[in-house]
Copies of this chain bind each other. A is one copy, B any other.
Amino acid sequence: MADIEAQVRAQAEAAKKAARALSVMPSGAKDKALLAMADTLGKRSEMILHANTLDLEEARDKGLKRSYLDRLMLSEDRLEQMAESLRQTAALPDPVAKGDYSVVRPNGLEIRRVRVPLGVIGIIYEARPNVTAEAAGLCLKSGNAVLLRGGSEAIRSNTAISQVLAQAAYEAGIPEGALQFLETTDRGAVDVMSHLNGLLDVIIPRGGAGLIQRIVEQSSVPVIQTGTGVCHTFVDESADFEMALRIALNAKTSRPSVCNAMETLLVHGGIAEAFLPGLCRAMQQKGVELRGCERTRAICPELAEATEEDWSAEYGDLILAVKVVDDVDAAIEHINRYNTGHSETIVTENLKHAHKFQREVDAAAVYVNASTRFTDGFEFGFGGEIGISTQKLHARGPMGLAELTSTKYLIYGEGQVRE
């Protein structure tokens, strides 16, 4: 443990040292480095893919699931996608030094507030090695140094990727040490990271609810909570049935493993009998397992019974809980009780209900007549995304480059003192 602590701390200190110079680097220099990083992924693909093969062999030996192996696997194509994502990040506007408040006070003091990098960002993530390149790119572009901690199953792939990226970045002029990756699978490293106050400015965990919960509970470094999504679709009495069916199917089945997928469908009691049978058939045709409340099962008796746990479950799979509610108020109450503050949608033709739902539902993204699946940085027009915050502090919803910055007040005076 002492060794790990020393190692993690040394890497965080190196990152902090680099962060200072990086924070005032002009956009052009950062973009040049990002493009060099993109290029190196292609040039060094053989070495990266070899490391990935070793990770995959070990994962297969461990008997890990096919879907897991698929997320872990790299290929020339996937490396090219990672490179393309870095090039897109380079093309985004730099958030640093942008002013967002400016005032001249009666005493003549000129006060401006400008965006500055956060400093050193800790990212703790699981499985997918593409996060290594994406996170590194977004952090460097926003002027931050980064300390990455990836999942143990991808340790060789992540090590290879981060080594070639760090080297390319350094050769292109990024301060040495700005991109740090923890080349250890020791679980103690996460605990050490969580208490590096003064070295890490924030930790962003990306992964399952268990990982995130553990870090939120233990970390004294500020954490941005991301990703858990118990998302709802509420089909109101006035809904266009065809639209409601399309939205519900999209929200549940287009990619059930992601955090903006629907987990619970709420249906207004006044249309439940007319709407639910068709909905259930369509869902079942897509292979969705349905679990209904009592009123739902009175209409669709073949459904399994939903228990209390189902209302707060993030299945991440082709399973859907279905509940009949009395009205929009009951829908809002259910959502505010069981949701995780991610994405919620109402399908309605009623203006008052649409407005009420958007005002009163407590979530990062509240939709009217659209699928919850749109909640992400690209769909929202940010050009990139480091994660989706489900907390209210600092950032809420998809986090782009601006969310990786803080602010600083710059004050010009001519000798003013306070009375």
Binding site for B on A (CB under 8 A): 20, 23-24, 103, 105, 109, 111, 113, 118-119, 197, 201-202, 216-218, 220, 222-224, 240, 243, 246-247, 249-251, 254, 336, 354, 358-360, 362-371, 373-375, 379-381, 391-394, 396-397, 406-419
- Asked whether A118 lies within 8 Å of B374 as measured between CB atoms, the reply is no
- Asked whether A368 lies within 8 Å of B220 as measured between CB atoms, the reply is no
- Asked whether B371 lies within 8 Å of A417 as measured between CB atoms, the reply is yes
Residue of B nearest to A216 (CB): B220
- Asked whether B250 lies within 8 Å of A370 as measured between CB atoms, the reply is no
Residues of B within 8 A of A392 (CB): 118-119, 201-202, 406
- Asked whether B366 lies within 8 Å of A418 as measured between CB atoms, the reply is no
Question: Among B201, B408, B409, which residue has its beta carbon within 8 angstroms of that of A393?
Answer: B201
Question: Among B105, B373, B408, which residue has its beta carbon within 8 angstroms of that of A379?
Answer: B105
Q: List 28 interface pairs A-B (beta carbons < 8 Å), by A numbering.
A: A20-B362, A23-B362, A103-B380, A105-B381, A109-B370, A109-B374, A111-B380, A111-B381, A119-B392, A201-B391, A222-B223, A222-B391, A243-B415, A246-B415, A247-B417, A250-B418, A354-B412, A364-B408, A365-B411, A368-B413, A369-B412, A369-B414, A369-B415, A369-B416, A370-B416, A371-B416, A392-B406, A396-B409
Question: Among B365, B406, B409, B418, which residue has its beta carbon within 8 angstroms of that of A409?
Answer: B365
Q: How far is the CB of A238 from chain B (nearest CB, A)?
A: 14
Residues of B within 8 A of A381 (CB): 103, 105, 111
Provide the bound-state CA to CA distance between A417 and B247, in Å.
6
- Asked whether B418 lies within 8 Å of A373 as measured between CB atoms, the reply is yes
- Asked whether A410 lies within 8 Å of B358 as measured between CB atoms, the reply is yes
Question: Among B201, B218, B411, which residue has its beta carbon within 8 angstroms of that of A374?
Answer: B411
Provide the bound-state CA to CA distance between A24 and B357, in Å.
12
SS class, residues of chain A in contact with chain B: mixed
Provide the bound-state CA to CA distance between A271 and B61, in Å.
70
Q: How far is the CB of A243 from chain B (nearest CB, A)?
A: 4
Residues of B within 8 A of A364 (CB): 408-409
Provide the bound-state CA to CA distance between A408 and B391, in Å.
11
Residues of B within 8 A of A407 (CB): 396-397
- Asked whether A415 lies within 8 Å of B366 as measured between CB atoms, the reply is no
Provide the bound-state CA to CA distance between A381 and B113, in Å.
13
Residue of B nearest to A249 (CB): B417
Question: Among B246, B362, B413, which residue has its beta carbon within 8 angstroms of that of A370?
Answer: B413
Contacts A222-B222, A381-B103 given; does A254 touch B371 at CB 8 Å? no
- Asked whether A216 lies within 8 Å of B243 as measured between CB atoms, the reply is no
Provide the bound-state CA to CA distance between A369 and B107, in Å.
13
Residue of B nearest to A347 (CB): B415
Question: Among B20, B250, B360, which residue has its beta carbon within 8 angstroms of that of A20?
Answer: B360
- Asked whether A119 lies within 8 Å of B418 as measured between CB atoms, the reply is no
Residues of B within 8 A of A249 (CB): 417
Q: Which of A197, A218, A336, A363 has the most B CB atoms < 10 Å from its CB?
A: A197
Question: Among B358, B367, B406, B408, which residue has its beta carbon within 8 angstroms of that of A366?
Answer: B408
- Asked whether A217 lies within 8 Å of B220 as measured between CB atoms, the reply is yes
Provide the bound-state CA to CA distance between A406 and B363, in Å.
11
